[in-house]
Structure 1
Amino acid sequence: MPREVETRIEKRIRKFLWDDKTLVRVNKETIYAPIAEGGRQLLDLLARNEAILVTWLRSYLNLNENRATWTYIADAILAHHVPSKFANLEERDKINTFLQSWTSNSSKLPKDLRDLISIAKKYGARTEGLAFSRNIIRQMPIWLHSEAADIHKLHNSKESRCLRQNHGVITVGDIETQAQKIRTPRHGRRRNCRCTACETARNECHCEAPYRCFSKANELLRTLPEKWNPTSDLPEDHEPHELQPPEIEGGITFDHRITVHGSLADAFRIFTQGNTINRIPEVVGDPQPAELKVEAYTDGSCQHNGSDDATAGAGIFYGEGNILNKSIRIPQNLPQTNQTGEIVSVKTAVTDVDPNHSL
């Protein structure tokens, strides 16, 4: 409802109630109160209109697959009308003003969107929680991340542009995947590195310097505060994945976990105050290794075992398409037996897997 219409209606209500009296000894809160409490149960137009805006805001921030069509149009309009300091940003990099550090020029927005942004600021709508699950963290856009103060300094580097344009990096999960590739077996900090990850990046992504992009991805990941970094030791690592059933029939188990689960839509809160805190709270509990567990299949083999021309090999398999999968020819200075191959495969797996993971 336009503000001028709201004002006219309020004046008519006032005239009807008080007959144009200038001195009224009953405040609005009493008039709006229920009749049982001594009020007149009059409709609070301002509160009603703001409540409608809040429901629209909730719909806009429902960042799931079933998001309303109008919200995508709103995204495009908000991303198009930005102050001059954000004018050089590409449209595809401006995903959501509530998740990133760019803002819209409110004076150029349609009134409905201007009111939407205004109500969000008035009541403190933002991502808020003591801790978030990795699923939520990985859905956040990495570019101009709202909680990474210095990430904008890396936005226009050659490697960052390549990560966006050639590697298709959009989210924190995407950048985490790229950063992990610096641990690919036989990966080296050189332009002609022939490791599996670099070869794939050159052939499929047309990346000229994969090792630089992987290093930049790692640098971008490090700009995230620990609360928003998927590589951090998060509270969910110390919380039970499932709650115990209630001891009393028909009872409800209290969820004592502090981690917010679900999707990005579940990370938003309203009526927040003050600055956000990006430190991870201390949590006492037993670590849950399931999230960090790596399963590897190892084996050794030997042709002509026991003879002078025996040749042995080893193999490690982590899963279909995993870049850590490998086959190894056993060097001639080692015994050419299948037992040697088995030992080498296990030793290689232990060396290749991140020490923070359970193998």
Structure 2
Amino acid sequence: MIKCLNKYGIAFEATYPSTAVQKGMPLWHHPGEDHQKRQVNNGEVASCLRKNHASITIGNGMDLAKRLEDPLHEGKASCDCVACEEDRTTRGCNDPHACVRSAASRLRQILPKWIPTPDEEGRQIPGTFQTAKEEETGLFKPPNGISTISQDLRAMTLRIDEPKERTATPVQRRRAVARPIPTKMEIHISGVTHAPSSNRARTAAGVFVKSDDEGNKGVCIPSAEEQSQYVAELYAALAAVR
């Protein structure tokens, strides 16, 4: 079902799945498979688990794997414990112990997030969130626990120009443009006023970096501005940073 949903852009994303959701997830082709481990979804034993033992969900696999903890169970094909005898006579399984071991192995191929443990019974939100809630800090609202698989489905819509076939290639993040590291520069600025005590006073500013440098420049102060050396130096500083 989940493979079919992914084909049509329906993603399954669960941040804090409840125990009921964990146990109800498929044992085979699980979306939370640990891809660093070899996945065994097919084969003779896997087929026997599905057909003869009805091990379809995580909960089914856990129930079967618990037999390894039974002191009456013997780790061999001829184990005559009640459960193994029933598997041979009623379900048609030739080697119940092999299927039990395979169920336990299959559970280890799935990320721990999806395998419920005894201390997670009734867990809805992380302990840190619960603690914050009990202390009534008011910093944030704790997330609600996910109690059904349907609550974890997210519909990813397509843009008008987006192809219907989704690619498995991950989206590439745009690389940051490399910027040159700024270096220290020594720049000389000056302001010169001609006839400062008369109505004909004119002021100019100058910027000098080094000989024959394109940053060298001279600026005439507009007549509307105050014609003083102070204003000229301000204009020179602005011209230098540009």
TM-score by length of 1: 0.36
Of residues 38, 41, 51 in structure 2, which corresponds to 1:155?
41
Q: 1:226 to 1:233 in 2, by over 3 A?
A: farther
Q: Where do 1:130-209 residues align within 5 Å?
A: 130-150=15-35, 153-209=39-95
Q: Where do 1:50-199 residues align within 5 Å?
A: 95-97=1-3, 117=8, 120=9, 125-150=10-35, 153-199=39-85
1:225 positional shift: 0.7
Q: Which amino acid aligns with 1:167?
A: H
1:96 positional shift: 3.3
User: Contact between 1:187 and 1:194, CA under 8 Å: does it hold in 2?
Assistant: yes
Q: Which amino acid aligns with 1:210?
A: P
Distance in 2, matches of 1:98 and 1:260, equals: 21
User: Contact between 2:16 and 2:125, CA under 8 Å: does it hold in 1?
Assistant: no
Q: Which amino acid aligns with 1:135?
A: A
Instruction: Pick the structure with greater CA Rg.
Output: 2
User: Contact between 1:131 and 1:234, CA under 8 Å: does it hold in 2?
Assistant: no
SS of corresponding position for 2:97 = helix
User: Contact between 1:226 and 1:232, CA under 8 Å: does it hold in 2?
Assistant: no
Q: Which amino acid aligns with 2:3?
A: T
Q: Please, what is the CA RMSD of the aligned residues?
A: 3.3
Partner in structure 1 of residue 201 of structure 2: none
Give the fraction of aligned pairs with identical amino acids, expressed as a percent. 28
Distance in 2, matches of 1:171 and 1:223, equals: 14
Partner in structure 2 of residue 16 of structure 1: none
Of residues 202, 207, 213 in structure 1, which corresponds to 2:99?
213
SS of corresponding position for 1:259 = coil
Distance in 1, matches of 2:81 and 2:144, equals: 41
Count of aligned positions: 146
SS of corresponding position for 1:142 = coil
SS of corresponding position for 1:126 = strand
Distance in 1, matches of 2:85 and 2:63, equals: 16
Distance in 1, matches of 2:121 and 2:93, equals: 37
Distance in 2, matches of 1:131 and 1:238, equals: 7
Distance in 1, matches of 2:4 and 2:65, equals: 25
Q: Which has the higher contact order (CA 8 A, sep 6+)?
A: 2
1:185 positional shift: 2.9
1:190 positional shift: 0.8
Q: Which amino acid aligns with 1:186?
A: L
User: Contact between 1:148 and 1:223, CA under 8 Å: does it hold in 2?
Assistant: yes
1:216 positional shift: 0.4
Q: Which amino acid aligns with 1:153?
A: Q
User: Contact between 2:77 and 2:96, CA under 8 Å: does it hold in 1?
Assistant: yes
In structure 2, runs of 5+ residues without a counterpart are 131-139, 158-169, 171-242
Distance in 1, matches of 2:4 and 2:144, equals: 22
Distance in 1, matches of 2:122 and 2:77, equals: 39
Distance in 2, matches of 1:269 and 1:238, equals: 20
Distance in 2, matches of 1:210 and 1:236, equals: 32
Higher helix share: 1
Distance in 2, matches of 1:97 and 1:225, equals: 18
Partner in structure 2 of residue 223 of structure 1: 109
User: Contact between 1:143 and 1:152, CA under 8 Å: does it hold in 2?
Assistant: no
Q: Which amino acid aligns with 1:97?
A: K
Q: 1:158 to 1:232 in 2, by over 3 A?
A: farther
User: Contact between 1:202 and 1:208, CA under 8 Å: does it hold in 2?
Assistant: yes
In structure 1, runs of 5+ residues without a counterpart are 1-94, 105-116, 244-253, 276-359
* Deviates further, 147-156 or 220-229: 147-156
SS of corresponding position for 2:84 = helix
1:200 positional shift: 1.7
Can you list the C-alpha shifts for 1:122-155, whole angstroms capped at 9, x where unaligned? xxx4222321001111111111111204477312
1:257 positional shift: 4.9
SS of corresponding position for 1:154 = coil
